[in-house]
Structure 1
Amino acid sequence: MKKYILSFLLVGSFAVAQNLTIEETVLGPRKYAPTTQTAQQWRKDSKSITYLSTDFSSLVEKSAANGWTASTLATKAEFETALKSKISNDEFTIRTFPFSINWKTVNTFETEVAGKKNNYKVTYDVVSKQITSVISYAIEGSQAKFASNNNIAWLQDNNIRITTPSGQVIEVTNDENKAIVNGSDYVHRQEFGIDRGMWWNEKGTQLAYYRKDETMVANYPLTNWNEREAINKDIKYPMAGMTSENVTLVIYDVASGKKVTIQTGEPKDQYLTMVSWEPTGKHIFIGILNREQNFLKFNKYDVATGAFVKTLFMEKAATWVEPQHALTFVPNNPTQFIYQTDFFGFNQMYLYNTDGKLLKNLGFNDVVVKDVLGFDATNTKINYIGTTNNGLDRQLFQVDLKSGKTIQLTTVPGTHTASVSSDGTMILDQYSNLTTPNEISILNIKNKMANTSLVKAENPFTGKIDLPKIEFVTLTSPDGKTPLNGRLIYPGNFDATKKYPVMVYVYGGSHAQLVNNRWLGGAGFFDIYMAQKGYVVFTLDNRGSDSRGKKFCEVTHRNLGVNEMADQMKGIEFLKSKSFVDADKIGVFGWSYGGFMTTSLMTNHSDVFKVGVAGGPVIDWKYYEIMYGERYMDTPQENPEGYEKTSLLNKAKDLKGRLLVIHGAQDPVVVQQHSMNFIEACIKAGKQVDYFLYPNHEHNVGGRDRIHMYAKIADYFDLHLKK
């Protein structure tokens, strides 16, 4: 097996430096953040960028007109004065200049603020220092969606309200049963790229919204231990193979109050995705995905009647079809749109017309589109961020709609976040890589050369923290042909003549990537902390993980964990080939899917892994929710062999090493039933296992409690692996 190793040395200062503290595993990313420009963006219709000052008290501008010299454009005090002058009947606490602003013209931006009585969307003029427009909605409202005519749709619990510009509040729905949920983004458990539950048409006269009926889904109890007498908080949690929610799409007309339910047909047990208004407002498009998740019909519907018009195209696969993106219509051309899909191997863009005719394949090589940034000033080209270097790098690309020709606008290896000026002549480019903390430059789009360097951050650890050596490694999967990206962190004060224990940090599931060509190689501060304590810390992105295309991922189908473990064991072979690795002291840590992988490795390869820490682990996929679980495993009824093979309840008897299982008692994602049943299986098998609950946390342990968690994990490795 060939191994290609790309090595970089991160060198600390020869001045007095120290290791990270356990507190800094959580607080360190802010404390040791590289110098940057926060909330930077192009000012509309200008050759200027704006960002927040280092103390967040003002909006700063750098412009080509003054040689990119920083000047204050607006201050928090000015904004607060304008706000209180415009809205005198409410109270505001403005601690910083608004972080999230959207430039509407060269001099005005929109932002959202909260008072004590209401929430507001305001437009601020940086020249006159005045609030020029205000629209508001109730303080208890959530998930607000703003229309072009200043109508606001928002949620009050499970119902939709609309506030008109005149201040009238329209009650769109009034369902008393909490299991009927209207307008929420929490539909289909937010799979399939769902990030909203309401959509205004272009004119703001009609609102499309999800109506989720989960009355048929059984209640699942989560125990709240903070009450004097513990109580259950019931959630709806449809498990694989069991009854699921039913979802419909409704169109509400503001003027008439009329509702039309889109006729998406039978069976009701299906997924409605990629909801997109046609710019004319006459039609709406919906991706209809069957429950088996292997057949997608992209349909067009008549808004006035809800009737089906036609199927534009279909996708069918032996594994799964996974729609992730709504349509992007070409500006000023309501008959053409951009569709993203990985159906042909890599998530790329395709130009269609509204009759379903494919006009142009806009894909480029094996580049995976990660973020569509929008069109150029002529609306003939699209800018986007895509992957290179086997998924390690992110670069800025531009594709021509007519010719399909693609050019790469950034070239320096690393992870770029970039945007193009309104006139299409300049790029605001920010990137980092393993040895570059942060660089921000203005590039000329014609020759892709830097005109001006705005930020060149120094290593923030120099003279403070003694960083270990970090390497990227490339291994080959058991199929003999697929490259796998890995990251190796050497122990602090490394001595090649010594042998060191190993902590493998693993995730391994879809839609996640742990190894990136960015600052620190994507390593977390806990990884660095453990390396400084004397561990070799290793991470491998196995097949099934993100940013490498569909084939790389779909080898997991119906057998989650099997090929992932095979890849991880190639990582173990690599580690054992190193003279400085103590092959008798290898441990593994992971959370969520990584908790599943940790427990899988501890039980399936019990002679290799001596210590494991599994956080929020999936133990048996039959206890996991329908939308994610059935995509990869099908149902337990369809795939009993796969569920039996991957269940860790069956593997408890094979546990040999020391395993700590951690779970949040309020976890609504991987419910505690997983770990509790595994503990029971260990008891019955006569196997000792350690268990720790965080009573008030959900799937992730956050806040200062995370410091406690990392201390516990580090102590566990020290006690059972390092000694």
Structure 2
Amino acid sequence: MKFPKILVAFILATTSVLTAQKKEVSLEEIWSGTFRQERLQSLQSLNNGEEYVVLNRDRESGNTTIDVYSYKTGKKTRTLVNSADLEGIDSFQGFKFSENEGKVLLSTEVEPIYRRSSKEIFYVHDLSSKNLVKVSKDKIQEASFSPDASKVAYVFENNIYILDLKTQERSQITNDGEINSIINGITDWVYEEEFSFVKAFEWNPTGEKIAYLKFDESEVPEFSMDMFGKDLYPSQHVFKYPKAGEANSKVSLHIYDLDKETSSEIDLEDQIDVASKDSKPEVEYSDFYIPRIKWSAEPMTLSVQVLNRHQNDLDLLFLNAENNQTSLILNETDEAYVDITDNLTFLEDNSFIWTSEMDGYNHIYHYDEDGELLDQVTEGNWEVTNYYGYDEKSNRIFFQSTENGSVNRDVYSIKPNGNSKKRLTEKDGMNSADFSADFTYFINTFTNTNTPPVYTLRKAKDGEKVREILNNNTLLEKNKAYDFSPKELSTININGNDLNMWMIKPTDFDKTKKYPLLMFQYSGPGSQSVSNSYFSTNDYWYQLLADKGYIIVCVDGRGTGFKGADFKKVTYQELGKFEVEDQIAAAKKLGERNYIDKERIGIWGWSYGGFMSSNAILKGNETFSMAIAVAPVTSWRFYDTVYTERYMRTPQENPSGYDENSPLNHVEKLKGDYLLIHGGGDDNVHVQNTMRMVEELVQANKQFEWAIYPDRNHGIYGGNTRLHLYNKMTDFILEKL
């Protein structure tokens, strides 16, 4: 068929315009926040359940305010606190209400310590009298109101103090705190990092007692890092870090009586021998963790979770704070390990909600106050992934689960007896909830591979949508100009398992061509990198690589989460074995596809992912031609006790598990191109890991590339650091793959 010249010219011109319209994403755009998602500012429900508060900042004046909004209308109803009205405070970075919401703790001059800890200057602001009190002239940690808001407890230089807000009298309730030796009321490094909490003291519900943990870390080996800064001589950061198999802090539980002004140490072992259940007649606490303490609904009963060092035997104890007698309420064991639960919730009758993997999947259980099982609330071959709470009024428990597929999340409600389950979200994807204090409403955050986060207000009773609060339509409109490729979700059958996978192809993908493949993974125990969610920051980088002709793939192999305990715990005592086998097998299988060049397959990862990518290019040297490892563990002997021993036991008990899967012991297998990157100030995965890897590679006469970012922590960020890092990785991929 012959087209007129004018029509041909029109078609060519139109094609040129369409081609020109596709913008190519740049690293500068990615790391300057061009694709930043609109997010609902962190909010907190007020006790009335009808309103919530948000911390707002005026960028022009620098003032901060705590503003109140109506759930139903979304309109601002009033301002509770404005820094412009507070003498001596230009702005504040955070706040905590007292129980009756009559006073608020304001945090200023926040100085980060580690991942979750910080030192701050705190003020107490009385919302009715407008009185403002500085808690301490020094930067302190974890300030906390007493239940009646008459006092504030806090930690300063490893000791616990109480300030009486009425008399302004200050009392010091511990005196033996010492840096790198004794810690009272806050956690040591490894508890903070691996048990995910810092504040290790709790007021009882009537304000008469304070339960607290003491850490004696005097026998824990010290780790030091040179921090170069800009001075003539570098400084040294020295802290206690227990590596696998080494001494932990000795942890002890104490109760402080405010009337008697005395502390008593609770001898858990002596007390529990008397109170043990028949099912567990002998209890020995010689080397153990106390990962959680929490007061129950009974004001003088403290719950204490005690975990053995192997982390496969968990006791829930109830301590009577009047006579210091302890009872064993619940015991849970596992051949591998027991995960700590944050979901312990006490009902009015002191019965409690508990979550556990005891039937092979994480589910909700309801026990009476003596630890007798009343009901398994949820059950099925799916996981409860979040527990939101119990509403006494409606007699319903609210939770999130994978019942609609392991890459999805939905919000549900259910009766404590397991009946009348309701799905409260309707769209397939990742749904999460933030409930009002009285469980009248919840804010639903929804995303899937095509939809950046959308926030809607819904009724907790049935999930009915009340209104849309916020969406990211502006981002979607902006992204149209780039014509990004979709993130395709699928599964791939590897070693007898259907593994979750996503793939990003070039926009102009042609199945008759062959493309190089870059695989990303993390693969740590219980993790998830493949989900039905919108682009993360790294996904925009993958789009940049796709524009340059690469296919990007991520596969969640054995050991990752949300597919049941057996799938997750198969890697027990063998970290880096089955996960690496799955990545190698997945790469080989993908290499069989007509459009993938099996001679050009690379892999990269960060942290645990760097451990994996290092092993992959060594053990899979016939499959992978390139690897990038950022902040990798290169031997689990170098990592901390709590994380490592949970999955590996100690090096003394399991030397082969540590060594056979350590990249240090396979360097002679390196054939492809390898880039090794680390932050010099990484307090988590120490740069020691990379230095040892470098030495082994040098002695094996293997050529590779490496980079150290001075003083940067595990996240390797600050200033232009991330941009520089991703430029380096991009150049390496373009040159080597």
TM-score normalised per structure 2: 0.86
Structure 1 unaligned residues grouped into runs of 5+: 1-12
Within-5 A mapping of 1:468-507 = 468-478=485-495, 480=496, 482-507=497-522
Match of 1:119 in 2: 122
Matched, 1:93 2:90: yes
Match of 1:322 in 2: 339
Match of 1:355 in 2: 370
* DSSP-derived class of the 2:657 partner: helix
Match of 1:512 among 505, 509, 527: 527
Matched, 1:369 2:384: yes
Match of 2:183 in 1: 181
Alpha carbons of structure 1 residues 284 and 614: separation in structure 2 relative to 1, 3 Å: same
Following superposition, the deviation at residue 389 of structure 1 comes to 3.6
One-letter amino acid of the counterpart of residue 21, structure 1? S
Match of 2:266 among 262, 277, 284: 262
Matched, 1:708 2:708: no
Alpha carbons of structure 1 residues 35 and 274: separation in structure 2 relative to 1, 3 Å: closer
Task: State the alpha-carbon separation in 1 of the partners of residues 53 and 477 from structure 2.
Answer: 24
* DSSP-derived class of the 1:650 partner: helix
Q: Deviations over 1:546-603 (max 9, x none)?
A: 3333212100011111111122234213422332222111111111100100100010
Following superposition, the deviation at residue 269 of structure 1 comes to 1.8
Match of 1:148 in 2: 147
Alpha carbons of structure 1 residues 187 and 198: separation in structure 2 relative to 1, 3 Å: farther
Following superposition, the deviation at residue 456 of structure 1 comes to 4.4
Contact 2:49 2:440 in 1 (8 A): no
One-letter amino acid of the counterpart of residue 494, structure 2? S
One-letter amino acid of the counterpart of residue 191, structure 2? R
Task: State the alpha-carbon separation in 2 of the partners of residues 38 and 14 from structure 1.
Answer: 38
Alpha carbons of structure 1 residues 681 and 163: separation in structure 2 relative to 1, 3 Å: same
* DSSP-derived class of the 2:733 partner: helix
Matched, 1:428 2:443: yes
Match of 1:220 in 2: 223
Contact 1:16 1:463 in 2 (8 A): no
Task: State the alpha-carbon separation in 1 of the partners of residues 509 and 292 from structure 2.
Answer: 51
Task: State the alpha-carbon separation in 2 of the partners of residues 617 and 693 from structure 1.
Answer: 12
Higher relative contact order (CA 8 A, sep 6+): 1
Matched, 1:27 2:21: no
Match of 1:285 among 303, 308, 326: 303
Matched, 1:418 2:433: yes
Within-5 A mapping of 1:610-629 = 610-629=625-644
Following superposition, the deviation at residue 655 of structure 1 comes to 0.6
Following superposition, the deviation at residue 492 of structure 1 comes to 4.0
Q: Deviations over 1:242-264 (max 9, x none)?
A: 22221111111223221111112
Contact 1:276 1:326 in 2 (8 A): no
Matched, 1:607 2:622: yes
Task: State the alpha-carbon separation in 2 of the partners of residues 47 and 374 from structure 1.
Answer: 17
Percent of counterpart pairs with the same letter?
Answer: 27
Contact 1:416 1:429 in 2 (8 A): yes
Task: State the alpha-carbon separation in 2 of the partners of residues 401 and 408 from structure 1.
Answer: 15
* DSSP-derived class of the 1:627 partner: helix
Alpha carbons of structure 1 residues 414 and 131: separation in structure 2 relative to 1, 3 Å: farther
Contact 1:192 1:324 in 2 (8 A): no
One-letter amino acid of the counterpart of residue 249, structure 1? L
Task: State the alpha-carbon separation in 2 of the partners of residues 444 and 352 from structure 1.
Answer: 28
Matched, 1:245 2:253: no
Task: State the alpha-carbon separation in 1 of the partners of residues 96 and 406 from structure 2.
Answer: 31
Following superposition, the deviation at residue 423 of structure 1 comes to 5.8
* DSSP-derived class of the 1:557 partner: coil
Task: State the alpha-carbon separation in 1 of the partners of residues 395 and 523 from structure 2.
Answer: 39
Matched, 1:71 2:75: yes
Q: Deviations over 1:243-298 (max 9, x none)?
A: 22211111112232211111123544211122122333323222221112222222
Contact 1:275 1:286 in 2 (8 A): yes
Match of 1:163 in 2: 163
Contact 1:141 1:156 in 2 (8 A): yes
Contact 1:217 1:238 in 2 (8 A): yes
* DSSP-derived class of the 1:173 partner: coil
Match of 2:734 in 1: 718
Match of 1:461 in 2: 478
* DSSP-derived class of the 1:676 partner: helix
Task: State the alpha-carbon separation in 1 of the partners of residues 520 and 735 from structure 2.
Answer: 18
Task: State the alpha-carbon separation in 1 of the partners of residues 421 and 187 from structure 2.
Answer: 34
Q: Deviations over 1:414-454 (max 9, x none)?
A: 11222445565544322111112233333345554434334
Alpha carbons of structure 1 residues 173 and 708: separation in structure 2 relative to 1, 3 Å: same
Please, which moves more after superposition, 531-540 or 492-501?
A: 492-501
Contact 1:262 1:303 in 2 (8 A): no
CA RMSD, 1 decimal: 3.0
Please, which moves more after superposition, 539-548 or 402-411?
A: 402-411
* DSSP-derived class of the 1:322 partner: coil
Following superposition, the deviation at residue 194 of structure 1 comes to 3.9
* DSSP-derived class of the 2:42 partner: strand
Match of 2:313 in 1: 295
TM-score normalised per structure 1: 0.87
Structure 2 unaligned residues grouped into runs of 5+: 1-17, 111-119, 270-283
One-letter amino acid of the counterpart of residue 580, structure 2? M
Contact 1:39 1:99 in 2 (8 A): no
Following superposition, the deviation at residue 667 of structure 1 comes to 1.6
Task: State the alpha-carbon separation in 1 of the partners of residues 384 and 141 from structure 2.
Answer: 31
Alpha carbons of structure 1 residues 674 and 516: separation in structure 2 relative to 1, 3 Å: same
Contact 1:471 1:487 in 2 (8 A): yes
Contact 2:71 2:457 in 1 (8 A): no
Task: State the alpha-carbon separation in 1 of the partners of residues 147 and 54 from structure 2.
Answer: 26
Following superposition, the deviation at residue 685 of structure 1 comes to 1.4
Task: State the alpha-carbon separation in 1 of the partners of residues 99 and 313 from structure 2.
Answer: 40
Q: Deviations over 1:454-484 (max 9, x none)?
A: 4443115335433123201212231x2x332
Contact 1:346 1:550 in 2 (8 A): yes
Please, which moves more after superposition, 275-284 or 618-627?
A: 275-284
Following superposition, the deviation at residue 521 of structure 1 comes to 7.5
Contact 1:25 1:529 in 2 (8 A): no
* DSSP-derived class of the 1:660 partner: strand
One-letter amino acid of the counterpart of residue 722, structure 2? R
Task: State the alpha-carbon separation in 1 of the partners of residues 199 and 217 from structure 2.
Answer: 18
Match of 2:277 in 1: none
Please, which moves more after superposition, 462-471 or 689-698?
A: 462-471
One-letter amino acid of the counterpart of residue 177, structure 1? E
